[in-house]
Structure 1
Amino acid sequence: MSENKTSATTKSLPVIRFFKDLFLNNRFFYAMFGIILLFVLSFVFSPVLEIAKLSGLVFLVVVVVDVLILFGTKKGISAKRVLPEKFSNGDANKVWIEISNDFTLKMFCTIIDELPFQFQQRDFYLSRAIAANRKESISYEITPKERGEYEFGGLHVFTSSRIGFAMRKFSFEASKIVKTYPSFLQLKKYDLISLNQFNLQFGIKKMRRIGNSFEFEQIKDYVQGDNIKDINWKATAKRNQLMVNQFQDEKSQQVYSVIDKGRVMKMPFEGLSLLDYAINSALVISSVVVRRHDKAGVFSFSKKPENFVVAERRNAQMNLIQESLYNINTDYSESDFGNLYGLLKRKVTTRSLLLLYTNFASLDAVNRQLSYLRAMNKSHLLVVVFFKNTELELLKNQEASTIQEIFDKTIAEKFSYDKKLIAAELNKYGIQTILTSPSSLTIDTINKYLEIKAKGLL
């Protein structure tokens, strides 16, 4: 009895699979609607009845032929999704689909790839006509807006012939997870900056160093602004004109990217939070620092400092920094600058450049933390990086025609002016600042680092 049940179930499996993979196209329903309309008209015009019967018979035969084309062979469509090892956050990442048509006819394919839920896109599909016995590669781009794991679902290909009444579904690929890391693609963009100390990049000016020097490079003619302590009197006597010693900057100085992961950094800009912009910038500046023979380190803080990576210039340093930045998550709490200062006193004993990524909304918020910022700046060179509100900047520059628009514009100008007051207040106590838009954050931070190195401030 049980053997008979098993054999019956086995026989029914191909039938179930057939109906599961068979789909009817819109063209099928349009043709059926036309035939039904002919039958309805035949009640009024009797000669139309024969035409309706003939059309129904032809339609049935064509549908059977179409189904036989799709299901009459074991071969069909094969497809594979090719994913990168990891995604770059905030950048366009390519995904490839390799699809092969093993039918002896040209087939029309609709490819549905189940994207991770983070994209919230349920109508994504690709259409492609593939010739008989041909293989093609199709690519599309996705731009993740947050770090973490992205899980892809199944890959489905709905195939139809030129007739187009029926479709056959082919399913491939089990779920696959890809991790999204801070924007490592930006590293290639800014790579050349760190290879040559005389490189120029848009927004970056080559500046002549006027501070103290460290390592001898060459003797050059004196120009106004050079330090008179560097005059080489022997060379001056030989050339009968002032000559000065030129030095290279001191190597292996410590640079820490300090990231505020409190609630103020969750403000969004073009889909990415300020925290993610800061993380992307910290990754790029760390790469530039290491390539320019300095020591790069990172850590984050809110209630307490975390994700600490000691500033080093070893081979695996960038991997350590990338993993640390990947694991930074906000806890939506108020940031404690007192704990940050305590960590710096304990763990960062050598004078270092501190790039502090945070966001101050008002002058009062700065004044509450000013004592800690001044204390940090005494032992280290502190650069506070905070953000313009780009939406308010746009509103400020718009023309106002109504009372409500005038009111909105006035408030926007007030908040924009407050940001400038914050920068002026910090500069008054010798604290360097970068007030920038999120989109210009990376280039402005690199520019500031190169300026500090050129002036020998560290």
Structure 2
Amino acid sequence: MQFLKSFYIHNTFFRYIAVLAACFMLSFWIHALYPIAWVFTWVLIGLFLFDIYLLFTYAKGVDAKRRLPQKLSNSDLNPVSVIFQSFYPFKAYISLIDELPQQFQKRDFEHKTFLLKNEKKEFEYTVRPVDRGEYVFGNLNVYVSSPLKIVKRRFVFQKDQMVPVYPSIIQMQQYDFLAISNNLTLFGLKKIRRIGHTQEFEQIKEYVTGDDLRTVNWKATAKQNQLMVNQYQDEKSQPIYSIIDTGRVMKMPFNGLKLLDYAINSTLAFSNVALKRNDKTGMITFSKNVETFVPAVQKITHLNTILEKLYNVSTAFTDSDYGMLYAHVKRKVTHRSLLLLYTNFEHISALKRQLPFLLAIAKKHVLVVIFFENTELEALIDTHAEDLQTIYHKTIAEKFSLEKRLMQKELQQYGIQTILTKPEQLTINTINKYLEIKARGLL
């Protein structure tokens, strides 16, 4: 039974059969072909049996191993490698089929190569998950054929490997490196010039054009016989909360990823940068109720707590209760904090319904409301209109786009910081706003 499960006919064998059938057909008119066709038939039968002997004589003809990371990173290209080795004494032709998780909906995965005796090769491919959760890789199937290519033998390795998909760890690591190197501008992150200064002294330095004259240190100036100024640094250990709306408005997909997942990836990367810069980070998720509350802590190990909480966040088909959010923030967040609210408003009427609660939160805290541009509408606006229906569609799209900008101005009139961003630029713009608020001493 084991033999039958691993026994397969190679496609080349059917070509041989087609040639023999043609010979027998032609022998009806060319009688000399008839005995030759029978000779070829017996030769093919002999080669068929000999090929079976070559492939099935060795109990372990090949070995293969799939190497998966401990965690896959959502929305990123994750490398998966397969190492395989041949123990056959001849050149073995390999067809590798990896059974990918059903979430990828990919049924045509195949890699073909060949291996010499005792040769080892490594093949690497990438997968891009767009949903968090458990991904199960099925069988790693290796089909081996000899140079005769008449039959194939299947080897099965590593059945049902499960790997969890977490928020974008790769994206977090990119910004982690930049935060350590203090070179965040490489990804378009702006350097914000300080207006005024905070109260944490850093050093005394020589005066350069543009420095605030109010920071001149007259004692040091007298000693050095040149203008010296005090330099201050951003205040540290300030509480910062990422608040994620998990209502139905965050289910909208862009590039295969829901708005919620963009917010989760941004929260993870931003929290890591804030912790590296010695601030406290926390997290709140809410819809009808406050589902998750992680108090702001400064420990770098606190990032693991945030990661685990983000792994289980999901959206619901309900409208979010901003009144419940306000009550929870008032009760639990007692110190003045920076609150980054990830949400989305498609209509200005939806914003006006929640505006009283946003204003109440902004009285005590620095509130940043983050919502999204509809990139598909922007693409529609940029297209050339060729008929009346397209003009109508463009007009409606421009109306929605204008409403987004009006909502941003409405919030800014009340002193609420805002970020209107494309989903793929969310992380960069969020960190930019954080650096701007810290540099201006608004918190």
> Which residue is 2:403 aligned to?
418
Output one character per residue of 1:320-371: Cα deviation in whole Å (capped at 9) or x when no partner. Answer: 0100111101122111111111110110000000010011001111000000
Structure 2 length-normalised TM: 0.96
> Which residue is 1:62 aligned to?
47
Output one character per residue of 1:386-428: Cα deviation in whole Å (capped at 9) or x when no partner. Answer: 1111111111111111111111111111111111011000001
Matched residue SS, 1:190: helix
Instruction: Return the match for 1:298 from 276, 283, 288.
Output: 283
Instruction: Return the match for 2:412 from 427, 449, 457.
Output: 427
Aligned mates of 1:152, 1:333 — CA distance in 2: 33
- Contact residue 276 and residue 300 of structure 2 kept, 8 A: no
Aligned mates of 2:225, 2:59 — CA distance in 1: 92
Q: How far has the Cα of 1:193 moved from its partner?
A: 3.6
Q: How far has the Cα of 1:31 moved from its partner?
A: 1.0
Equivalent residue letter for 2:69: P
Equivalent residue letter for 2:99: E
- Contact residue 305 and residue 343 of structure 1 kept, 8 A: yes
Aligned mates of 1:348, 1:231 — CA distance in 2: 37
> Which residue is 1:29 aligned to?
14
Aligned mates of 2:390, 2:85 — CA distance in 1: 58
Equivalent residue letter for 1:376: I
Q: How far has the Cα of 1:296 moved from its partner?
A: 0.6
- Contact residue 275 and residue 300 of structure 2 kept, 8 A: no
Aligned length: 443
Matched residue SS, 2:437: helix
Q: How far has the Cα of 1:295 moved from its partner?
A: 0.2
> Which residue is 2:252 aligned to?
267
> Which residue is 1:11 aligned to?
none
> Which residue is 2:113 aligned to?
128
Matched residue SS, 2:186: coil
Aligned mates of 2:183, 2:308 — CA distance in 1: 31
Where does structure 1 lack aligned partners over 5 or more consecutive residues? Answer: 1-15
> Which residue is 2:129 aligned to?
144
Matched residue SS, 2:434: helix
- Contact residue 75 and residue 128 of structure 2 kept, 8 A: yes
Matched residue SS, 2:316: coil
Aligned mates of 2:233, 2:406 — CA distance in 1: 36
Q: How far has the Cα of 1:155 moved from its partner?
A: 1.0
Aligned mates of 2:141, 2:20 — CA distance in 1: 32
Aligned mates of 2:226, 2:415 — CA distance in 1: 38
Matched residue SS, 1:257: strand
> Which residue is 2:32 aligned to?
47
Map 1:55-204 onto structure 2 (within 5 A): 55-195=40-180, 200-204=185-189
Question: 4+ runs of 1 displaced by more than 4 Å?
Answer: 196-199, 220-229, 233-244
Output one character per residue of 1:70-105: Cα deviation in whole Å (capped at 9) or x when no partner. Answer: 112223111111111110111111111111101001
The 3 A distance-change label for structure 1 pair 242 and 370 is farther
Where does structure 2 lack aligned partners over 5 or more consecutive residues? Answer: none
Q: How far has the Cα of 1:133 moved from its partner?
A: 1.3
Q: How far has the Cα of 1:205 moved from its partner?
A: 2.1
Instruction: Return the match for 1:446 from 428, 431, 442.
Output: 431
- Contact residue 175 and residue 184 of structure 2 kept, 8 A: no
Output one character per residue of 1:174-206: Cα deviation in whole Å (capped at 9) or x when no partner. Answer: 211100110111122112442255753332222
Structure 1 length-normalised TM: 0.92
- Contact residue 70 and residue 168 of structure 1 kept, 8 A: yes
Instruction: Return the match for 2:355 from 370, 373, 377.
Output: 370
Q: How far has the Cα of 1:61 moved from its partner?
A: 1.3
Output one character per residue of 1:121-179: Cα deviation in whole Å (capped at 9) or x when no partner. Answer: 11211111111111222111111111100011111111111111110011111211100
Aligned mates of 2:158, 2:223 — CA distance in 1: 78
> Which residue is 2:340 aligned to?
355
> Which residue is 1:7 aligned to?
none
Equivalent residue letter for 2:373: K
Is residue 316 from structure 1 mapped to residue 301 from structure 2 by the alignment? Answer: yes
- Contact residue 76 and residue 168 of structure 2 kept, 8 A: yes
